[in-house]
Amino acid sequence: MAVSVDRILRWKQTGAPAQPITVLTAWDVMSGQIVDQAGADIVLVGDSLAMVALGYDTTLPLTTEDMVICAKAVRRGVKNALLVVDLPFLSYQTSVEDAIRAAGQMLKIGAQAVKLEGGHDEVVETVRRLVQWGIPVMGHVGLTPQSVNQLGGFRKQGKTPEEGDRILAEAKALEQAGAFCVVLEHIPAELARNITKALSIPTIGIGAGVHCDGQVLVTADVLGLSAWQPPFAKVYANLRQQAVEAAQQFCEEVRSGQYPA
Ligand code: KIV
Ligand code: NA
Q: For 51-60, how does the pLDDT look when each residue is reduced to its tens digit (9 = 90+)?
A: 999 999 999 9
Per-residue pLDDT, 228? 85
Number of domains in the chain: 1
Distance from the Cα of residue 103 to its chain's centroid = 15
What domain range includes position 192? Answer: 5-256
Per-residue pLDDT, 15? 63
* Nearest atom (ligand 1) to Cα of 185: 7
- Does residue 162 have an active-site annotation? no
User: Per the domain annotation, does 88 fall within a domain?
Assistant: yes
* Nearest atom (ligand 1) to Cα of 48: 1
Per-residue pLDDT, 13? 80
Tell me which residue has its CA closest to atom 3 in ligand 1: 46
User: Per the domain annotation, does 261 fall within a domain?
Assistant: no
8 A C-beta contact, residue 106 and residue 135: no
User: Per the domain annotation, does 170 fall within a domain?
Assistant: yes
User: Per the domain annotation, does 238 fall within a domain?
Assistant: yes
233 pLDDT band, cuts 50/70/90, is very high
- We report the CATH number of the domain holding residue 40 as 3.20.20.60
Q: Is any atom of ligand 1 closer than 6 Å to the C-beta of 226?
A: no
Nearest to 31 by CA among 218, 228, 214: 218
Tell me which residue has its CA closest to atom 1 in ligand 1: 46
Q: Which CB contacts under 8 angstroms, 24+ apart, belong to 3-9?
A: 3/41, 3/42, 3/80, 3/81, 3/82, 4/82, 4/112, 5/82, 5/112, 5/113, 5/136, 5/180, 7/82, 8/41, 8/42, 8/82, 8/180, 8/181, 8/202, 9/180, 9/181, 9/201, 9/202
User: Per the domain annotation, does 146 fall within a domain?
Assistant: yes
Share of the chain above pLDDT 70, in %: 99
Please state whether the peptide bond connecting residue 260 to the residue before it is cis, i.e. omega within 30 degrees of 0.
Answer: yes
Q: Is any atom of ligand 1 closer than 6 Å to the C-beta of 218?
A: yes
Q: Look up the pTM and report it.
A: 0.97
64 pLDDT band, cuts 50/70/90, is very high
Per-residue pLDDT, 1? 72
Nearest to 23 by CA among 164, 180, 193: 180
pLDDT, tens digit, 9 for 90 and up, residues 117-148: 999 999 999 999 999 999 999 999 999 999 99
Decide if pLDDT at 240 tops 70: yes
Estimate the crossing angle of helix 189-198 against helix 161-177, to 10 degrees: 30
Average pLDDT, the chain: 96
ipTM: 0.99
Active-site choice (65, 185, 252, 253) = 185
14 pLDDT band, cuts 50/70/90, is confident
User: Per the domain annotation, does 168 fall within a domain?
Assistant: yes
- Give the residue-averaged pLDDT of 207-236: 96
> What whole-number distance in Å separates Cα of residue 29 and Cα of residue 115?
20
- Give the residue-averaged pLDDT of 72-100: 98
pLDDT, tens digit, 9 for 90 and up, residues 154-199: 999 999 999 999 999 999 999 999 999 999 999 999 999 999 999 9
